[in-house]
Amino acid sequence: MSLLEVEGLRTYFFTRRGVAKVLDGLNFSLAEGQIVGLVGETGSGKSVTGFSILRLVQRPGKIVGGQIRFAGRDLLKLSEAEMARLRGRDIAMIFQNPRMALNPLISVGRFLSHVIRYRAGISGGRVREEALRLLREVQIPDPERRLSSYPHQLSGGMAQRVMIAAAVAARPRLLIADEPTTGLDVTVQAQIVRLLKRLRDETGTAQILITHDLGLASEVCDAIAVMYAGEIVEFGPTASVFQSPKHPYTQGLLASRPKLGDTGEIPALPGSVPDLTNPPTGCRFHPRCPYAFDRCARERPAPRPVGDGRVAACFLYEEGDDA
Ligand code: SF4
C-alpha cells in the first residue's frame, strides 16, 4: 500500500490579477521508504505541492479540491489540531536557506532540545543525549561543541544538517526536502544528498525531494515526477525516465540540463512557464511543444501508462503509440 496518495489535488491562488491554478489536478503516490524527486522549472508548482501536503499553504493560496491520503487518512479532512500533531512527527519538511529558518538567538542545543521534547516526547537527561545522537547521525563533527553554537557560527552545510537532524528527530515516516542544497557549494551538496539517502536506508523514512537539479534527483531518487505548470506530466522509475524520457517536456528538460562542469540552474527551455492565471487551453505544454498538433490545444491529455511502470500525460502515447 502507498504511504502517500495525492489525487486530483487543486491549489489555487486568489490574486488581484485573477485565480492562479498553481496545482490543477495533481496525481502521484509514494511507497513506504521510497524517495521521489519532484522536478521541473521554477514556477511549476513543486514547492506548493510540499506546502499543500502539510496544509501550510498561505493566503491568498487555498486547497480547493482533491485528496491527500497519508497512511490511509485523508489529510484534507483532519482538524487543524490533528494536522498540527502530524506535522513534524509523521511528516517533516526541510527548506532551502536553513540559516533563515534557525533563530539567530537560540543555540543549536536549545533548538534541538525543544524539538526533541515537543516532537519526540523525550524529557529529562535523555534530551541532551538524543541531541548528540542526532548530530552524530547527520555527521556533524565535534557534536558536543556544536550544541553551544549559534546559527551565525555554522556554515550553510552545517546549518542544513542541523535542520535535517531536527526534521528526523521524531522519526517521521515522510520527509519533504524543498531544494535542500540550494546555495551550498557542490561538495556540500553531494554530502547532503548522500546524507538524505543514508537516512532513508537506515530509518526507512520516505522522502519527496523537490529540486530543479536533475543531477541531484538522478543520484538519490527511486522515482521521478516531472512537473509542468501545476501538473505531473511524467512519472516513473528514475533510470527509465532519464534513459528514455517519454513526455516532450521531460525530453526538453533533459536535453537542456547542464553538462559536466556547468553550474547553476537548468537552462531555460525555449519559451517560458505559462501564466497560471490564464493557462493555455488543452495540454498546458502545447505552446512550447515541438510535437504539438491541433488536438493538443483543445483537449487536456490524461496520464496514461507508457511502459516500464511509467505514466505520461501526452496524446502521443495513446493506444500504444510510441514517440
Ligand atoms: Fe506535446 Fe501534444 Fe503531447 Fe502536449 S499532448 S506534450 S502538446 S504532443
Of 315, 318, 319, 322, which is best to mutate to test ligand 1, by the most ligand atoms within 8 angstroms of its C-beta? 315
Report the pLDDT averaged over residues 92-103.
86
Examine the pLDDT at 263 and tell me if it is beyond 80: no
Q: What is the pLDDT of residue 97?
A: 80
Model confidence pLDDT, tens digit, residues 236-246: 999 999 999 99
> Do strands 61-70 and 2-15 pair parallel, antiparallel, or not at all (unpaired)?
antiparallel
Q: What is the pLDDT of residue 173?
A: 95
Report the pLDDT averaged over residues 79-85.
95
Q: What is the pLDDT of residue 304?
A: 94
Retrieve residue 157's grid coordinates. Answer: 552545510
Ligand 1: centre distance to CA 86 (Å)? 39
Task: Name the β-bridge partners of 91.
Answer: 87, 174
Q: What is the pLDDT of residue 223?
A: 96
Nearest residue (by CA) to ligand 1, atom 5, is: 314
228 Cβ closer than 6 Å to some ligand 1 atom: no
Q: What is the pLDDT of residue 189?
A: 84
302 Cβ closer than 6 Å to some ligand 1 atom: no
Report the pLDDT averaged over residues 128-147.
92
118 Cβ closer than 6 Å to some ligand 1 atom: no
285 Cβ closer than 6 Å to some ligand 1 atom: yes
What is the band of 125 on the pLDDT scale with cuts at 50, 70, 90?
confident
Please state, in angstroms and rounded to a whole number, the distance separating the CA atoms of residues 134 and 140: 9
Ligand 1: centre distance to CA 291 (Å)? 6
Name the nearest CA neighbour of 4 among 52, 64, 93, 74.
74
Examine the pLDDT at 261 and tell me if it is beyond 60: no
245 Cβ closer than 6 Å to some ligand 1 atom: no
* Residue 171 DSSP symbol: -
Report the pLDDT averaged over residues 283-292.
96
Please state, in angstroms and rounded to a whole number, the distance separating the CA atoms of residues 137 and 301: 45
Q: What is the DSSP code string of 200-233?
A: HHHH--EEEEEES-HHHHHHH-SEEEEEETTEEE
What is the band of 183 on the pLDDT scale with cuts at 50, 70, 90?
confident
Please state, in angstroms and rounded to a whole number, the distance separating the CA atoms of residues 63 and 87: 17
* Average pLDDT score, the chain: 91
Percentage of the chain beyond pLDDT 70 is 95
Examine the pLDDT at 262 and tell me if it is beyond 80: no
Examine the pLDDT at 79 and tell me if it is beyond 60: yes
**Amino acid identity at 148:** S
What is the band of 3 on the pLDDT scale with cuts at 50, 70, 90?
very high
Please state, in angstroms and rounded to a whole number, the distance separating the CA atoms of residues 35 and 20: 29
Q: Indicate which atom in ligand 1 lies nearest the CA of residue 284.
A: 4
Name the 3-class secondary structure at 56: coil
Retrieve residue 7's grid coordinates. Answer: 489525487
Residue 80: CB atoms within 10 A of its CB come to 8
Nearest residue (by CA) to ligand 1, atom 7, is: 286
